[in-house]
Amino acid sequence: MAPIPGSGLAKGLAVTLRTMTKKTVTEQYPDTQPDLPPRTRGVIGLFEENCTVCMLCARECPDWCIYIDSHKETVPAATPGGRERSRNVLDRFAIDFSLCMYCGICIEVCPFDALFWSPEFEYAETDIRDLTHERDKLREWMWTVPAPPALDPGAEEPKEIVTARKTAEKLAAAQAEPITSADPQGDES
């Protein structure tokens, strides 16, 4: 059977009429802020005190958008007769967000928890060169990083804590036992 001429137009108009009667779900962004999930990937914040300049984040970054500069500093011996140590001191830590693809590899590979996701996403610039955020700007983003979610109350306790508690209980029982059983006179009536 041949299609009726104009049936496609009628179907299209029917869809249009159905959607015209429904309430819109569009939020007007600048006027109303979006309700984002708690661990949204917005911008990367730097907790500078934890950074040991190990360069893992810069080496693992697929876009090579992390720039780190450092120098070695000699730390005097902690004890007399000990030897001096050298440590890396962070001079520059910058992330070029015009190159970043927000994959999160840098945050995952950081062994010292120096990088975190911040839910902030309003950092647009008129000049692309201003999208390279230095460590001062990255440190400011740390104030917006949400606290980690609470542990699951129904989860079983880690083995390390259980073992430590049992050892502490045995030690406390062993210390309390000599006090109660140490009665030299023997209470005979």
pLDDT tens-digit readout, 91-101 = 999 999 999 99
31-71 pLDDT tens trace: 888 888 877 889 999 999 999 999 999 999 999 999 999 99
Question: What is the CA angle 85-89-93, rounded to 5?
Answer: 155
Q: pTM, whole model, 2 decimals?
A: 0.66
Q: Name the E strands within the chain.
A: 43-46, 66-75, 85-96, 115-118, 132-133
Task: Give pLDDT, residue 148.
Answer: 77
What pLDDT, on a 0 to 100 scale, did the predictor assign at position 189? 47
Among 66, 42, 46, CA closest to 56: 66
Confidence (pLDDT) at 111: 94
Q: Which residues of the chain have pLDDT under 70?
A: 178-189
